[in-house]
Amino acid sequence: MNRTDCSYPIRILLVEDDEHDRVAVARALHQDHPDNTILECVRAEDVEATLALPEAGALDLVLVDHKLPGMSGFGLCRQLLEAGFDLPLVLMTGRGSEQLAVQALKAGVDDYIVKDGGSSYLGLLPLVLRDAIRRYRERRACREAESALRRSEAQLGQILEQISVPAFVIDADHVVTHWNHACERLTRFPASLAIGSREQWRAFYASERPVMADLIVDGAIEATVSSYYEGKFRASGLIPGAYEAEDFFPAFGERGRWLFFTAAPLRDGEGRIVGAIETLQDVTEQRRAELALRESERRFRELSITDALTGLYNARHLFETLETEIARALRYDHPLALLVLDADDFKRYNDTHGHLEGDNVLVGLAEAIRDSLRGADSAYRYGGEEFVVILPETALGDAAVLAERLRARFAGKRFRDQAMTVSIGVAEYLPGERPSDTLRRADANLYGAKRAGKNRVSAGAQGGA
């Protein structure tokens, strides 16, 4: 049964001293519904005793005549209202008492009806009483719902304050209703400023914009969430309509903080969104550990493919890269060239001046190579004093020009006030040959340059040594 329905039989307490009117009222209510029940109370001073009767516990309304022995009906209604009486009150007044009725309504009486001389009011009486009961029950249901909501909010507030997870709640109007202590500590934004405001954004952003809880309240679709958290969010796998995200907040702390946050809808009994709750988790240390691990892995990878002395790539990485570049050259039908370099008379210099000075020569040669490279080129320490350069999208002639420029750059350096030189062999990759074949032809051209007097570039014959 609907709690605000009043179509079923009603129970009335009638306070009326006129016998004729009591009978007329009872007849009118019985005609409305034969099971309507009427308790009668003639005098105002009997009202309290009548209301205390067991059968009065199920009363729906009190109907009071204005003219009562020793007290006005309005005075009785006022006393009941001041005492916290919680049933609808309807006042019957005589003809010409409309002003009194209005005064009664202002005082809190639910309705009034004027007794006219022709007793036509009796036909309206059941309608007026049922309407007063209906409106009273609607108000009571609203008060109970509000009270339940306040109890629920208070309970939610107690729960939120007891947990260590930073969290806040907003209602359907985007007003903050809860901002727990953990949220205060994380955001450094006081609950006293947050609660009751629509300025939750101030805790997170420099300028006004919706937080994720705001988007949830607005029933945001994924595209809307993406416009604010592109690439940083996902739909919750546990809660329908909820989203999770991870983002960096530079204003938190000295160096900013990484937060993982989840926003979920709060729904009423009919499934309508009445608010949203957002929880926060500081994942800064986890993020930094992940970044440190990635950096360590990158550094380890770099060390594993880098020559420690010169900083160029090592021989192992040379063959990995050469295979990749050859495959790319074949795919796009582009040329590819190799340089093989060797420091001239390096062993004699190393034996004369020692390994440290010899290392300086190798470092100097690596610098000359590095300074000569273009964006896509790469260089490798191939052996003791031997180096290789891979030149993508470079034909033999252009490779020879670059090699000559590199040779001259190294020849201009000084080591213990003397110049050192380098011989360079050049080869262009030929379709169908193995990477080692191209490398072998460039190496053969290198030794051709050595035999021709050193400190020179040799491209040799394209088809072989």
Reported as a single tens digit per residue, the pLDDT across 156-167 is 666 677 788 899
Q: What is the pLDDT of residues 237-254, one digit of tens each?
A: 888 889 999 999 887 877
Q: Quick one: pLDDT band at residue 465, thresholds 50, 70, 90?
A: very low
- Domain of 252 in residue numbering reads as 163-287
Q: Is there a domain that residue 294 lies in?
A: no
Q: Is there a domain that residue 439 lies in?
A: yes
- Say if residue 244 is in the same domain as residue 369: no
> How high is the pLDDT of residue 318?
94
Q: Is there a domain that residue 155 lies in?
A: no
- Say if residue 347 is in the same domain as residue 229: no
Residue 231 has pLDDT above 90, yes or no: no
CATH code of the domain containing 48: 3.40.50.2300
- Say if residue 279 is in the same domain as residue 323: no
Q: What is the mean pLDDT of residues 382-409?
A: 95
Q: Is there a domain that residue 437 lies in?
A: yes
> How high is the pLDDT of residue 464?
47
Q: What is the pLDDT of residues 255-278, one digit of tens each?
A: 888 999 999 999 887 888 999 999
Q: What is the mean pLDDT of residues 298-312?
A: 85
- Say if residue 327 is in the same domain as residue 364: yes
Rounded Cα gap, residues 209 and 227, in angstroms? 12
Q: Quick one: pLDDT band at residue 376, thresholds 50, 70, 90?
A: very high
Angle at 63 between CA 60 and CA 69, to 5 degrees: 140
- Say if residue 316 is in the same domain as residue 270: no
Of 143, 171, 200, the residue that ends a domain is 143
pLDDT > 70: percent of the chain: 94
Of 143, 173, 199, the residue that ends a domain is 143
- Say if residue 110 is in the same domain as residue 192: no
- Say if residue 330 is in the same domain as residue 442: yes
- Say if residue 59 is in the same domain as residue 28: yes
CATH code of the domain containing 436: 3.30.70.270
Q: Is there a domain that residue 77 lies in?
A: yes
**Domain count across the chain:** 3
Q: Is there a domain that residue 390 lies in?
A: yes
- Say if residue 333 is in the same domain as residue 424: yes
- Say if residue 338 is in the same domain as residue 211: no
Q: Quick one: pLDDT band at residue 1, thresholds 50, 70, 90?
A: very low
> How high is the pLDDT of residue 446?
96
Q: What is the mean pLDDT of residues 45-72?
A: 79
CATH code of the domain containing 191: 3.30.450.20
Q: Is there a domain that residue 297 lies in?
A: no
Q: Quick one: pLDDT band at residue 347, thresholds 50, 70, 90?
A: very high
Residue 378 has pLDDT above 90, yes or no: yes
> How high is the pLDDT of residue 460?
75
> How high is the pLDDT of residue 156?
67
Highest mean pLDDT among 35-49, 72-86, 213-227: 213-227
- Say if residue 314 is in the same domain as residue 450: yes
- Say if residue 137 is in the same domain as residue 36: yes
Q: Is there a domain that residue 444 lies in?
A: yes
